[in-house]
Structure 1
Amino acid sequence: MIAAGGVLGAEARYGLGVLADETAVSSGWPWATFVQNVTGCLLIGAVMAVLLDLTAPHRLARPFLGVGVLGGYTTFSTYAVDVQQMLGDGRAATALLYLAGTPIAAVLAVWTGSAAARAAARAARRRPHGHGGDRA
């Protein structure tokens, strides 16, 4: 299940990388990697809140989604290589901003995803179940 999820996550990461490649080259900032890691962390916060706090998931849901799909989608190894390349190119200030900014944004994204999922679950529990009105 982890491997199958990893394939899906890696394919999504590759697709986003292809779409964002021109931006990364022209801006000097590795946008694809940054967006992949931050959105992956946002999703992992939401998914884990749902799987661990809000439902009784299948025992393979967490390994498939959390470790597989989102582990394959995020790429902190590429983040490390990006920092190394920026330092090698003499862009120390950008490298340090990226080095510090990515984990800060990632942790905030996990918290935001988790909080949003829990808030949505609370709102859903408060909604009345009859959505169609009275039927005769």
Structure 2
Amino acid sequence: MSRRAPLPASHLLAVSVGGAAGALVRWALVVAFPAAAGGLPWVVVGINVVGSGLLAALPALPVVRRHDWVAPLLGTGVLGGFTTMSAASVDTVALGAAGEPVAAAAYLLLTLVGALLAVLVVRRATRGRLA
């Protein structure tokens, strides 16, 4: 069994700072644009779709390929803190429990399909630019 090298302190710091920044931006957007009772949490859908697309675009950025700490900062950190599968899961269950099964299903599908489409569009747009 091989031993893994310890993570560089710069990566730990990058993920920590990035995660805090991403979570703060998500929180600010959710507070600024709250979902109506029984309505779809459109802000969380948008966050997850946009975040998925941005994550797919990271390998195409030259700065990510030049500096080994940028991917942990922007990917795991900022975008990991920004996107939120947990909120999408809780919101889906809450909509169902509130007697809104169609809204719950629509929210789940919009989040998943939107995120996957964002990744596919970005991958197609960045084809040939990936390392």
Q: Give the TM-score category using the shorter length.
A: 0.7 to 0.9
Q: Say how many residue pairs are matched.
A: 117
Pair 1:37 & 2:64 matched: no
> 2:7 corresponds to which residue?
none
Indicate which of 94, 106, 119 corresponds to 1:110: 119
Residues 1:101 and 2:110 are matched in the alignment? yes
Is it true that 1:15 corresponds to 2:28 in the alignment? yes
Q: Distance in 2 between matches of 1:55 and 1:89?
A: 43
Matched residue, 1:80: 89
Post-superposition offset of 1:27: 7.1
Q: Is the 8 A contact 1:50 1:117 kept in 2?
A: no
Bigger Cα displacement from structure 2, 26-35 vs 10-19: 26-35
Larger Rg: 1
Written as runs of structure 1 = structure 2, the 5 A alignment for 1:31-70 is 31-50=42-61, 56-70=65-79
Q: CA deviation at 1:46?
A: 1.3
1:130 counterpart residue number: none
CA distance in 1, matches of 2:103, 2:38: 11
Normalised by the size of structure 1, how large is the TM-score?
Answer: 0.76
Q: 8 Å contact 1:33–1:78 — kept in the other structure?
A: yes
Alpha-carbon separation, structure 2, partners of 1:73 and 1:56: 22
Counterpart CA distance in 1 for 2:74 and 2:44 is 20
Contact preservation (8 Å) 2:64, 2:71: no
CA distance in structure 2 between the aligned counterparts of 1:74 and 1:58, rounded to whole angstroms: 23
Higher helix share: 1
For structure 2, the residue ranges without an aligned partner over 5 or more in a row are: 1-13
What secondary structure sits across from 2:66 in the alignment?
A: coil
RMSD: 2.3
Identity of aligned residues (%): 36
- Residue type at the aligned position of 2:22: G
